[in-house]
Amino acid sequence: MEIQGFLQWAVGAIVWTFANVVFIDMRRKGIRGFGRFAAFWVGNPTTWISLFVVKEGRVALVEPPPDDDARLLREIRVDRELRGLGAPRVIEGGGRAGEETPRAD
């Protein structure tokens, strides 16, 4: 019976610590919602201290990468013009030592 009490205490301590770490991280990042609320109540009473000590943060929004469609279409047009002129283009990094470099015809 003593081992069961120890296991209850150990699991409770792990859950309590995890809840406090999650609450602090969510507060620091500025994430709101039910998960933060649940972590606050599971991690009581230490989360009350964290509530006043840890500064509320902001969620950084990730900007989408720039649109490269125009650049890609320009490259395709240039490539088609070069192919239409009949001038073979040498592909960089092609061919083995002593062999002829492959061409894009």
Please indicate, yes or no, if residue 77 is contained in any of the structural domains: no
Please indicate, yes or no, if residue 99 is contained in any of the structural domains: no
Please indicate, yes or no, if residue 12 is contained in any of the structural domains: yes
HEC string of 46-71? HHHHHHHHCCCCCCCCCCCCCCCHHH
Q: Which two tokens stand for residue 7?
A: 């296991």
Residue 86 pLDDT class (50, 70, 90 cuts): low
Q: What whole-number distance in Å separates Cα of residue 3 and Cα of residue 40?
A: 29
Q: What pLDDT does 97 receive?
A: 56
Q: What pLDDT does 14 receive?
A: 92
Q: What pLDDT does 100 receive?
A: 56
Q: pLDDT, tens digit, for every residue of 8-49?
A: 999 989 998 998 898 888 888 888 889 888 988 888 888 888
> In total, how many domains does the chain have?
1
Please indicate, yes or no, if residue 25 is contained in any of the structural domains: yes
Percent of the chain with pLDDT over 90: 4
Signed CA dihedral, 20, 26, 30, 36: sign only: negative
Please indicate, yes or no, if residue 26 is contained in any of the structural domains: yes
